[in-house]
């Protein structure tokens, strides 16, 4: 990779490249086409009158199959209802990496757009040649080309049987005019592919799979990560044996299995009362915020472009001139959990020395290689098949449970094993979004120009996805090998990775001092949760920006627009302002805004919030406005669903959520001990989607979270007259901060 | 562990199952009768994804025993359909694509059906009351509220 690409990071490079190519009036097919460049890699015509499309991305609640079907339908001219997206199967689907990082539409959408255009062009050319007619003499309707004079016709399904189809390659770029000529509507109303089955109870999740003689399973979890299995008491293992209930014991990895799911659930509780674990190490020794400040850490300098470097960290500058105002601030956030409503699950069978694993993991191809490494088996003998799970917002328990199901299936060959995590498993054993601390210093001059900006982020890693070289990232692997030492993470340096995602401000603040601190020996297991470090970094940035603006009485919109050069960013903020102005503010309410461009290279989003803070410090959300620019709009309602869902989740993080733990165990074991937002605090949300026709797709799965937290925090600051700097904004935390100030 | 014969009326049909007497209703619905639209979420009666209608009232099925509901009419998401097709709550959800991952959706539809099948225009308080304890993690609430507005308007 050239040095300059290394400097800005590959994702930024990709984004810049696609935008540059756009400016040269070309459409870029995207990275997937480089690997899978044939039409047959993307389409299957075996079903009559159905266009089946392969994708390497999966439906994890974002309706990607509907968006991809719509993209293909618009270009191929085949009715949306007749386009099917084939569920990811590692034997037949393209490997497009993980379904993560808001890249599903940018990657798979661009690839399917390019493939569909190639298909359409080749089909028309083939039809004209075969029918021996002129272009003017044909009509094209729902995948069939008809010669209006002779009434002869050819369909895509006929074309798919030819060598032309089989051999055809997809170009890496197209003339933009070729795409524009279809003149499709982006606000088309469609029924999402899954909705009919969902509302009738027929949508099959992996949890619902049934096979003859199938064994239901649960893992027997210890009190914490550092617990070694010693023994059963009261002969419980023998009693289970007499009842025909199976136990599996591999060092400290234990599971219970039976054909009757309820017996598994019932005896899991009984076993937990009849088992001895040795606590090898305490879960924690101190509060997480003390640990974030005091533990060993690795500090890297983050430079413009968002990449981190092992370089000396410059000291904070001092500005003594009276024309400058200097502020410092600290923002804190606790651990957040993914907390899907349905606990993680997987189904696996080991038969004829081959594994078949049904999973809702974001990373099925990585899982295949990891299982290959663990079982020492050729990857060709492992098939991963996507089956829906409950909502996915990052690296949750899906990979763990799939690995565990595979381990169980090896011990019970020729029988399907359906393993489900319990609610307590999900709450206590998933990899959380890390707790974090941001220390900021900013200097603003009397003209309202910010001339110096320092942001130091302290956090644990967001990157512990399992891989064939990192099996220890499967939580159960460590219990299988009785290894209770915490693996030390290494800082990731690429642009906007993990802790330093969106640490580099899009604003022009004169001089920046940006530091990423990977703090070691923090208590809880962490990995990628929606936005990684961007949630806390954007909130810290956007709230501190308001604090600085307030010292000079500058309006929140003005301070942002004055420090931006990017026209699309300015446009999004102005769009938000226009929408907020229209709505009359309710008496006794307060407003706040937040803005971000995700990873400084993906979608732009500005959020406004109107809320009330009652005398008892209860916070009620009243209105929310979202303005988003995600490039060309493939499916407007899909974008709205993503950003509105993301808003609600981030509002929940901001107002309610923090994983609690003590020295022995995680205390947040269920929904009573880990509160999330409910229907009684959902504001009226108005979303404005800015369509940048012809520009590259930019994903929207994550962009809204940071601006949402910031808008809520800034509105609360307006209400209270001071910024609350610790999340979540519960009565207890607000009271504590008010008393401290 | 003693087993009992349990007579249940589910979705208008009488079913007899031979079950352990401490078996929660959800496992009978899902595993014995194959009605997997009812979802197991927490097993603690906290998230609402397992909600069913018992004589028209919403009830979480994960923390109650099947044997205690032998003389009741139990309706699951699969039983909401009428001869004319989807019930009005299901129709509104379909029209507004009111789901994300959908795992919580059947519980929410059951919950709203308990109100909208009795009243055409329930109050906001009644709606929020029936939705209490119906958790959604993806944030489908906004589209659910649009579906509710549609229901109230029709």
**Where along chain A do its domains lie?**
27-198, 206-281+340-429, 287-337+433-532, 566-741
Q: Is the ipTM of this complex over 0.85?
A: yes
d(CA A68, CA A65): 5
Task: Give A3's contacts (C-beta < 8 A, 6+ positions apart).
Answer: none
pLDDT(A733) > 60: yes
Task: Please state which of the four CATH numbers 1.10.3720.10, 2.40.50.140, 3.30.450.20, 1.10.150.120 is assigned to the domain occupying B88-153.
Answer: 1.10.150.120
State residue B2's pLDDT score. Answer: 84
Pairing of strands A153-155, A144-147: antiparallel
pLDDT(A21) > 60: no
Confidence of residue A13 (pLDDT cuts 50, 70, 90): very low
Q: Is A657 left (phi over 0), alpha (psi -120 to 50) or beta?
A: beta
Residue of A516, A565, A498, A505 lying closest to A539 (CA atoms) = A505
State residue A188's pLDDT score. Answer: 72
Q: Give me the residue from A201, A210, A423 closest to B44, CB to CB.
A: A423
Q: Which residues of A touch B142 (CB under 8 A)?
A: 644-645, 647-648, 682, 685
Confidence of residue A222 (pLDDT cuts 50, 70, 90): very high
- Higher pLDDT residue, A527 or A9? A527
Subunit contact A199:B23, Cβ cutoff 8 A: no
State residue A56's pLDDT score. Answer: 96
d(CA A128, CA B110): 54
d(CA A540, CA A560): 14
Q: Which residue of B has its CA nearest to A686?
A: B142
Subunit contact B90:A263, Cβ cutoff 8 A: no
- pLDDT tens digits, one per residue of A267-278: 999 999 999 999
State residue A26's pLDDT score. Answer: 75
Parts of chain B belonging to CATH 1.10.150.120:
88-153
Parts of chain B belonging to CATH 3.10.20.30:
3-77
Subunit contact A390:B101, Cβ cutoff 8 A: yes
pLDDT(B124) > 90: yes
Residue of A551, A548, A550 lying closest to A510 (CA atoms) = A548
Residue of A374, A376, A365 lying closest to A405 (CA atoms) = A374
State residue B82's pLDDT score. Answer: 86
Confidence of residue A179 (pLDDT cuts 50, 70, 90): confident
Would you identify the CATH topology of the domain A566-741?
A: Aldehyde Oxidoreductase; domain 4 (3.30.365)
Output the average pLDDT for chain A.
94
Cβ neighbour number for residue A70 with a 10 Å cutoff = 25
- pLDDT tens digits, one per residue of A379-406: 999 999 999 999 999 999 999 999 999 9
- Residues of chain A with pLDDT > 90: what percent? 89
Confidence of residue A106 (pLDDT cuts 50, 70, 90): confident
A109 three-state secondary structure = helix
Contact residues, A window 388-447, toward B, CB-based 8 Å cutoff: 388-393, 420, 422-423
The full DSSP string for A24-49 is: TTEEE--HHHHH--BGGGTEE--STT
Does A206-281+340-429 match A566-741 in CATH topology?
yes
Give me the sheet containing B3-10, strands edge to edge.
Answer: B13-20, B3-10, B73-75, B51-54, B57-60
Q: Is A599 left (phi over 0), alpha (psi -120 to 50) or beta?
A: left
Q: Give me the residue from B24, B47, B94 closest to A262, CB to CB.
A: B24
- pLDDT tens digits, one per residue of B7-41: 999 999 999 999 999 999 999 999 999 999 999 99
Looking at domain A27-198, does it have CATH number 3.40.50.1100? no
Task: Please state which of the four CATH numbers 3.30.365, 1.10.357, 3.20.20, 3.30.200 is assigned to the domain occupying A287-337+433-532.
Answer: 3.30.365
Backbone angles phi, psi at A231, to 5 degrees: -165, 165
Confidence of residue B1 (pLDDT cuts 50, 70, 90): low
Subunit contact B97:A195, Cβ cutoff 8 A: yes
Q: How far is A258 from chain B (nearest CA, A)?
A: 13
State whether the Cα torsion A252-A257-A261-A263 is positive or negative. Answer: negative
Output the average pLDDT for chain B.
96
- Higher pLDDT residue, A229 or A16? A229
The CATH architecture assigned to B3-77 reads: Roll (3.10)
Q: Which residues of B touch A646 (CB under 8 A)?
A: 139
pLDDT(A528) > 50: yes
Residue of A624, A602, A621 lying closest to A611 (CA atoms) = A621
- pLDDT tens digits, one per residue of A108-161: 999 999 999 999 999 999 999 999 999 899 999 999 999 999 999 999 999 999
Buried-state track A564-590, b at ≥16 Cβ within 10 A, e below 16:
beeebbbbbbebbbebbeeeeeeeebb
d(CA A491, CA A349): 37
d(CA A152, CA A145): 8
Confidence of residue B141 (pLDDT cuts 50, 70, 90): very high
- For the record, the structure tokens of A563 come out as 């420090």
Subunit contact B76:A260, Cβ cutoff 8 A: no
Q: Which residues of A touch B44 (CB under 8 A)?
A: 423, 670-672
Average pLDDT score over residue span A35-49: 96
Would you identify the CATH topology of the domain A206-281+340-429?
A: Aldehyde Oxidoreductase; domain 4 (3.30.365)
- Higher pLDDT residue, A16 or A619? A619
Q: How far is A170 from chain B (nearest CA, A)?
A: 33
d(CA A203, CA A387): 10
Subunit contact B90:A61, Cβ cutoff 8 A: no
pLDDT(A15) > 80: no
Average pLDDT score over residue span A405-418: 98
User: Rg of chain B over CA atoms, in angstroms?
Assistant: 15
pLDDT(B111) > 50: yes
- Omega before A218 within 30 of 0, i.e. cis: no
């Amino acid at each position: 990779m050239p040095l300059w690409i290394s400097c800005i990071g590959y994702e930024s490079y990709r984004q810049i490249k696609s935008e540059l190519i756009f400016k040269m009036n070309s459409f870029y097919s995207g990275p997937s086409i480089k690997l899978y460049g044939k039409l047959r890699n993307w389409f299957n015509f075996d079903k009559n009158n159905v266009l089946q499309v392969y994708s390497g991305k999966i439906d994890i609640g974002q309706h990607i199959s509907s968006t991809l079907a719509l993209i293909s339908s618009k270009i191929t001219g085949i009715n949306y209802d007749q386009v099917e997206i084939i569920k990811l199967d590692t034997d037949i689907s393209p490997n497009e990496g993980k379904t993560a990082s808001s890249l599903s539409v940018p990657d798979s959408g661009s690839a399917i757009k390019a493939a569909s255009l190639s298909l359409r062009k080749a089909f028309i050319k083939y039809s004209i040649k075969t029918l021996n007619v002129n272009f003017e003499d044909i009509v094209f309707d729902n995948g069939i080309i008809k010669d209006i004079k002779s009434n002869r016709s050819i369909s895509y399904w006929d074309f798919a049987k030819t060598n032309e189809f089989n051999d055809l390659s997809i170009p890496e770029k197209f003339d933009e005019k070729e795409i524009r000529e279809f003149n499709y509507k982006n606000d088309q109303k469609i029924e999402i592919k899954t909705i009919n089955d969902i509302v009738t109870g027929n949508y099959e999740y992996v949890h619902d799979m049934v096979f003859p003689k199938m064994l239901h399973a649960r893992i027997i979890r210890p009190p914490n990560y550092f617990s070694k299995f010693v023994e059963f008491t009261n002969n419980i293992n023998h009693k289970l044996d007499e009842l025909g209930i199976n136990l599996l014991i591999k060092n400290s990895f234990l599971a219970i299995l039976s054909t009757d799911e309820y017996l598994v659930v019932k005896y899991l509780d009984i076993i937990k009362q009849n088992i001895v674990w040795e606590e090898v190490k305490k879960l924690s020794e101190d509060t997480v915020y003390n640990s974030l400040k005091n533990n060993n850490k690795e500090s890297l300098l983050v430079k413009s472009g968002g990449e981190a470097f092992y370089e000396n960290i410059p000291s904070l500058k001092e500005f003594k001139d009276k024309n400058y105002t200097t502020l410092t601030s600290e923002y804190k956030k606790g651990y957040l959990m993914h907390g899907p409503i349905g606990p993680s699950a997987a189904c696996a069978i080991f038969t004829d020395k081959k594994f078949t694993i049904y999973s809702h993991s974001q990373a099925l191809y990585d899982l295949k290689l990891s299982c290959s490494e663990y079982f020492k088996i050729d990857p060709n003998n492992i098939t991963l098949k996507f089956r829906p799970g409950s909502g996915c917002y990052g690296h949750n328990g899906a990979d763990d449970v799939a690995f565990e199901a595979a381990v169980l299936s090896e011990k019970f060959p020729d029988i399907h094993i359906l393993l489900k995590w319990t609610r307590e498993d999900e709450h206590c054993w998933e990899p959380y979004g890390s707790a974090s601390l941001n220390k900021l210093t900013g200097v603003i001059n009397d003209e309202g120009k910010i001339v110096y900006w320092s942001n130091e982020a302290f956090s644990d890693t967001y990157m512990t996805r399992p891989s064939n070289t990192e099996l220890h990232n499967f939580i159960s692997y460590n219990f299988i090998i009785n290894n209770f030492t915490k693996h030390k993470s290494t800082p990731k340096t690429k642009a906007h990775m993990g802790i330093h995602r969106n640490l580099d401000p899009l604003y022009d603040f004169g001089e920046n001092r940006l530091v990423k601190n990977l703090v070691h020996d923090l208590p809880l297991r962490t990995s990628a949760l929606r936005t990684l470090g961007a949630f806390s970094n954007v909130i810290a940035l956007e709230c501190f920006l308001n604090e600085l603006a307030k010292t000079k009485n500058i309006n929140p919109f003005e301070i942002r627009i004055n420090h931006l050069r990017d026209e699309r960013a300015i446009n999004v903020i102005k769009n938000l302002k226009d929408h907020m102005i229209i709505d009359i503010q309710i008496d006794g309410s307060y407003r706040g805004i937040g803005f971000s461009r995700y990873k400084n290279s993906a979608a732009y989003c500005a959020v406004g919030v109107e809320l009330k803070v009652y005398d008892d410090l209860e916070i009620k959300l009243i209105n929310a406005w979202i303005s988003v620019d995600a490039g060309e709009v493939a499916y407007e309602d899909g974008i709205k669903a993503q950003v509105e869902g993301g808003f609600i989740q981030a509002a929940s993080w901001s107002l309610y959520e923090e994983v609690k733990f003590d020295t022995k165990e995680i205390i947040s074991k269920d929904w009573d001990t880990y509160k999330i937002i409910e229907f009684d605090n959902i504001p009226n949300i108005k979303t404005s989607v800015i369509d940048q026709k012809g520009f590259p797709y930019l994903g929207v799965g994550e962009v809204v979270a940071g601006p949402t937290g910031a808008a809520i925090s800034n509105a609360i600051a307006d209400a209270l007259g001071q910024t609350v700097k610790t999340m979540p904004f519960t009565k207890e935390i607000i009271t504590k901060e008010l008393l401290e100030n | 562990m003693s087993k009992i014969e349990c007579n249940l009326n589910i979705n208008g049909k009488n079913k007899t199952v031979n079950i352990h007497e401490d078996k929660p209703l959800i496992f009978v619905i899902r595993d014995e009768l194959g009605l997997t639209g009812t979802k197991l979420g927490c097993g603690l009666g906290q998230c609402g994804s397992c909600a069913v209608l018992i004589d028209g009232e919403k009830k979480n099925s994960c923390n109650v025993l099947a044997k205690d509901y032998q003389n009741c009419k139990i309706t699951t998401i699969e039983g909401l359909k009428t001869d004319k097709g989807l019930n009005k709550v299901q129709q509104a959800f379909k029209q507004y694509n009111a789901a994300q991952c959908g795992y919580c959706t059947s519980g929410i539809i059951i919950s709203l059906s308990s109100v909208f099948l009795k009243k055409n225009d329930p109050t906001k308080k009644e709606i929020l009351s029936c939705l209490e304890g119906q958790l959604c993690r993806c944030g489908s609430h906004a589209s659910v509220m649009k579906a509710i507005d549609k229901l109230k308007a029709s």
